[in-house]
């Protein structure tokens, strides 16, 4: 089954009387277990596309099927429910809650999903063990390095066992070695667990970890193939 299927997706933004087209008839299919890097210059539409994929915004035209479900016309409450069940998010800035410890941060999506505190705590600890931070469960985010915080963010993204991970510049705030460590974790999640990943990056070295590269320019897909083959 395809985890993402976009057909004819178009999006414009209006500022007063000025309408600015951003995406023009995007067709994109991401199969279950694929690892796709999304690249493009500033203004190419990649951030808008990621917001649409993550159900954080709505297209003006076209259709979007997510994990076999047509999500094109969902209302805000339905979108939130599908997001929590289907999509894990990882951001450049980690977005961890400063006053919660690491385990509590990872457990939060499970509490939103209605799990008990005990079950959420157990699942959070399992995920922290998986990303190599089990011993740091009671620390605050401020007590961790950037790479450790991103690992916590990845653990949190996996809490509800989503089939799709959307990663928006996940290594943008990390040094070279820490970047490689985080990418190795994403590689393992894709390889060993079959997690579908769509990763936005402006770094060719980061995109090379994906198995497929989609490049946008002026709101259109101008390349879709192997990393390193787009010039």
Structure tokens given for 18:
């000025």
pLDDT reported for residue 230: 56
Is 173 among the domain residues? yes
Residue with tokens 């919660």: 100
Note the helical H segments in 42-101.
46-53, 76-86
Instruction: Check: CB of residue 174 under 8 Å from CB of residue 19.
Output: no
Q: Give the count of domains, the chain.
A: 1
| Residue closest to 34 by CA, chosen among 202, 127, 165, 157 | 165
Is residue 231 included in any domain, yes or no? Answer: no
Q: How far apart are alpha carbons 40 and 149 in whole angstroms?
A: 27
Higher pLDDT, 32 or 175: 32
* Torsion angles phi and psi, residue 8, rounded to 5: 65, 35
pLDDT in tens, 159-216: 999 999 999 999 988 888 899 999 999 999 999 999 999 999 999 999 999 999 999 9
Indicate the DSSP class of residue 142.
G
> CA 231 to CA 26: how far, in whole Å?
21
pLDDT of 180 reads 92
Q: What is the dihedral of CA 215, 210, 93, 178, to 10 degrees?
A: -140
The tokens of 53 are what? 């994929």
Look up the CATH number of the domain holding residue 53. 3.40.50.300
Q: Are the C-beta atoms of 213 and 222 separated by less than 8 Å?
A: no
Burial class (CB in 10 A: 0-12, 13-18, 19+), 136: middle
pLDDT tens for residues 90-136? 988 889 999 999 999 999 999 988 999 999 999 999 999 999 999 99
| Domain, as residue range, for 201 | 2-225
């Amino acid at each position: 089954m395809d985890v993402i299927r976009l057909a004819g997706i178009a999006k414009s933004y209006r500022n007063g009387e000025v309408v600015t087209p951003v995406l023009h008839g995007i067709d994109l299919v991401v199969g279950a277990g694929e690892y796709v890097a999304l690249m493009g210059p500033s203004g190419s539409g990649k951030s808008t596309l990621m917001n649409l994929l993550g159900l954080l915004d709505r297209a003006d035209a076209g259709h979007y099927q997510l994990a076999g479900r047509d999500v094109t016309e969902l209302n805000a409450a339905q979108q939130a429910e599908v997001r929590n069940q289907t999509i894990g998010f990882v951001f450049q800035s980690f977005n961890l809650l400063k006053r919660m410890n690491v385990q509590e941060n990872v457990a939060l999506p499970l509490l939103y999903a209605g799990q008990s505190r005990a079950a959420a705590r157990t699942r959070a600890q399992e995920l922290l063990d998986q990303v190599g931070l089990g011993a740091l469960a009671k620390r605050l985010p401020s007590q961790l390095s950037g790479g450790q915080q991103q690992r916590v963010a990845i653990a949190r993204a996996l809490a509800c066992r989503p089939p799709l991970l959307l990663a928006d510049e996940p290594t943008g705030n990390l040094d070279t070695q820490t970047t490689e460590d985080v990418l190795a974790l994403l590689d393992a999640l894709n390889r060993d667990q079959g997690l579908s990943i769509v990763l936005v990056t402006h770094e060719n070295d980061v995109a090379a970890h994906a198995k497929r590269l989609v490049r946008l320019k002026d709101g259109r897909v101008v390349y879709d193939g192997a990393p390193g083959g787009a010039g």
